[in-house]
Amino acid sequence: MQTHEIRERFTNHFVRSGHEAVPSASLILDDPNLLFVNAGMVPFKPYFLGQETPPFANGTATSIQKCVRTLDIDEVGITTRHNTFFQMAGNFSFGQYFKEGAITHAWTLLTGSLAEGGLGLDPERLWVTVYLDDDEAAEIWEKKIGVPAERIQRLGMEDNYWHMGVPGPCGPCSEIYFDRGPAYGKEGGPAVDDNRYMEIWNLVFMEKERGEGTAKGEFEILGDLPKKNIDTGMGVERVACLLQGVENVYETDLLRPVIDTAEKLTGATYGKDNTADIRFRVIADHSRTGMMLILDGVTPGNEGRGYILRRLLRRIIRSARLLGATAETMQQFMNTIMDTMTPSYPEIAENRERILNVATNEEKAFLRTLESGTQLFEQAASSVKQSGSTTVAGDQAFALHDTYGFPIDLTLEMAAESGLEVDIEGFESLMAEQKARAKADNQAKKHGHADLSVYRQWVDEHPTEFLGYEALSSQSKVLGLVRNGESINEAHAGEEVEVILDHTPMYAESGGQLGDRGQLVSGDTLLNINDVQKIGKKLWIHKATVASGGLDLGSEVTVNVDGKWRHGARQAHTATHLIHAALRQVLGPTAVQAGSLNRPGYLRFDFNFTEGLSPAQMEQIELITNQAVDTDWAVNTIETSLEEARKMGAMALFGENYGDSVRVVEIGGPFSMELCGGTHVTHSSQIGPVTLLSEASVGSGVRRIEAYSGMDSFQFLSREAALASGLASSLKTPTVDLPERVRQLTDKLKAAEREIENLHKAQLAANTSKLLDQGVEINGFTVLTIQLPKGTSAGDLRTVATDLRGRLGEREGIVVLAAEDGQGKAPFIIGATKSAIARGVKSGDLVKLLGGYVDGRGGGKPDMAQGSGSKPEGFNAGFEALKSELAQL
């Protein structure tokens, strides 16, 4: 049975029993505790916590949620049951049925006949576990389902008490296992061998809320959830493994084709060697996870989600190389996994080119890293051999890995080829320190769930009616006042307060557009509204300062949007749509929005693209945008279903979850059509001029354009014109000739600087021969310790040191130069001749010694090393220490 059929049978089973089918949410949700959605229940968390009322008619739902867990990336492939990406099929009850219902639904699907829509598993091979003191669940399994008591096992907190690892819902659970037979391990059930007995379904009886904690069981139970809920998760990949009769999840219809592709590209064979098999499994697993992350809008970067994606893609490349691949492989891997996953995720097809571009560009960048890393390793290996050692130091291996992105696996491999070892303990120690710092930093950035229970009554009973598409003012009623997280009955002058109204003309921040600014008036009472935010997409929170008077609960008020603010915000937001459309005309369909910010007169637009834009491209994008403004297209909004909007060709944003009813903003017919809830001008000409200010990278594969619109654009252009006019007047040249005049002046300046630099070098060379006379003999060495005049730069020190060392020729010479650079720093450099190095001199060691006397540090190679300090008065003492060191060598 193919995986997509398992998904279909699961969904149909629960829809027939009254559950509402809910599409998978994006892997990226706005949750401060999660980089990615890591469990099927995550999109339903507000309902479990009682923050929002479930929008499902029967209070039940079913979904097959995309999930990613990356806590132990380095362990992937070592076991054969775990993936970083997996599909969690689940059914959910929000206060409807509880333990008996959940157990019955699961058992019926698993053991039901194929003809009746079940999965056809043998009930005699199913085992279950329950929490230690969960007598109720145990009795249901035995008395109502008929599972023999000997196949029901009780396990503790670590195994059968579910939570997300962060504050939130929790409760005891019951897990269903399939006995794979004696060939897979010992008898005795999952308590004895969880390899033979494979877990396929976890039924969570969610009834409590947990607080802060760091490990399983080490957290406080805050109390009961508002209702007893059900959250279950069936591992689609594991069930596919059983129904397809394969050994592990890597050999199912979704992942085995990637392994086959890897065999063709590398010449290696899967199934013959455990080390090689792990690498095959890494390629298969990470190809799918990487593809799904890119699909949902993640691009490679150096932090957060982007860093995880980069690690995954680079582990694919590294594993393929270690298996024998010599050419680029990413395109073939991505094409293969997209072919296997498209039946379940049709949206892959329309994003195929973009996914390939992101993945293959990362491969090209990493291959360049490998090339430069190889050169750095060869330098390190040469230095090790020259010193007489056979071990590459742990800190060198760590620097290659951490600073240059060179994998430790390749360092070990190349070291072995060079007859060297690597101080792996030192490397692992530094890695452990880095992980500890990262973990502490990550923990510091986490925030517990904000307590939104104070807003619950209004979310459920009085969701805000938004009037702002048609009006800038309204007569409204104050339904709620909140201060410092608590509901209050009145607010007084000078206080900061959150105001909840029955309806409002004020736009709440979303879709990149900032919330409106404005005023709330009632008689002598005036509140300045500084921001508007949403709770649960239903409730508008007006954040305000009471400027005068006081405000009581139930008051009738007039709400006025700042018209100038709204006009500027609408101009910027509509300009963003035009720029997006112009970008796609110039750069192609792979340039898609990755984020935006719109405020009056200004916008920034992030988009997925791997190369910087040329001046000509920027000029073309700006021209197309302003032509769209000049055309005076009508800006139309269409309320329709999500399905119809997609048929119309409307673009949706990655990471956004849309309801069944959506709002399409259409400008110029096919020119621009996007799903958007923001406010816009009614005709494109109302935007006014649009000026592109800059374009730059904000992460790997993500670029950002900044622009002005409306009067801000006009004022910017006016200032630019005045600046050009003033410059033209100063240079006594027509404005149109300014570029050529500036080029001429720049060329003259560069020529003068080169002449000055040549004179300076000549002066340094003339003085070098005099400095050579200051050498003294110490223990057979010719030693020069010289402090050059104040103002000598570090670059000058290197020039003189290199010249002096060359003049020492075959002598055992050491050159030590220092200076004050005139900018608060005290640079120094040490060079040694080949014969001095042969006697054991290492410039890097001597630099460290000297640095200790001037409150500085430095490093380098045996022949040349340099550093910088902050206390030049210590140079003389440092020189004497160096001489003493050399005298004892």
Tokens standing for 422?
């690597």
Closest by alpha carbon to 805, among 831, 780, 783, 787?
A: 831
E strands in 656-775: 661-667, 672-675, 690-699, 702-709
Binding-site residues sit at 573, 577, 676, 680
Binding-site residues for Zn(2+) sit at 573, 577, 676, 680
Tokens standing for 711?
């009067």
Closest by alpha carbon to 7, among 230, 338, 206, 253?
A: 253
Q: Parallel, antiparallel, or unpaired: how do β-strands 465-466 and 503-504 relate?
A: parallel
Q: What is the 3-state secondary structure (H, E, C) of 163-211?
A: ECCCCEEEEEEEEEEEECCHHHCCCCCCCCCCCCEEEEEEEEEEEEEEE
Tokens standing for 528?
């300045």
The sheet with strand 635-641 has its strands ordered as 635-641, 661-667, 672-675
Tokens standing for 492?
């007084």
Tokens standing for 176?
């269903």
The greatest distance separating any two alpha carbons of the chain, rounded to the nearest whole angstrom, comes to: 102
Q: d(Cα 77, Cα 258) in Å, to the nearest integer?
A: 14
Contact indicator for 749, 615 with CB cutoff of 8 Å: no
Q: d(Cα 706, Cα 537) in Å, to the nearest integer?
A: 28
Place of tokens 């040329």: 614
Q: Which helix (H) or strand (E) holds 817?
A: strand 813-818
Contact indicator for 109, 65 with CB cutoff of 8 Å: no
The sheet with strand 702-709 has its strands ordered as 593-599, 602-608, 702-709, 690-699
Q: d(Cα 719, Cα 710) in Å, to the nearest integer?
A: 15
Contact indicator for 768, 804 with CB cutoff of 8 Å: yes
Contact indicator for 851, 872 with CB cutoff of 8 Å: no
Q: List Cβ neighbours of 833 (8 Å cut-off, separation of 6 or more).
A: 805, 808, 809, 810, 811, 812, 813, 814
Closest by alpha carbon to 258, among 324, 329, 326, 312?
A: 329
CB atoms within 10 A of CB 388: 7
Closest by alpha carbon to 845, among 383, 415, 392?
A: 383
Angle separating helix axes 99-111 and 3-16, nearest 10 degrees = 140
Q: Is 574 left (phi over 0), alpha (psi -120 to 50) or beta?
A: alpha
Contact indicator for 831, 862 with CB cutoff of 8 Å: no
* Helix runs in 112-183, H state only: 135-139, 157-160
Q: Parallel, antiparallel, or unpaired: how do β-strands 556-561 and 690-699 relate?
A: unpaired
| SS3 assignment, position 491 | strand
| SS3 assignment, position 792 | coil
Q: d(Cα 167, Cα 801) in Å, to the nearest integer?
A: 61
Task: Report which DSSP code applies to 32.
Answer: T
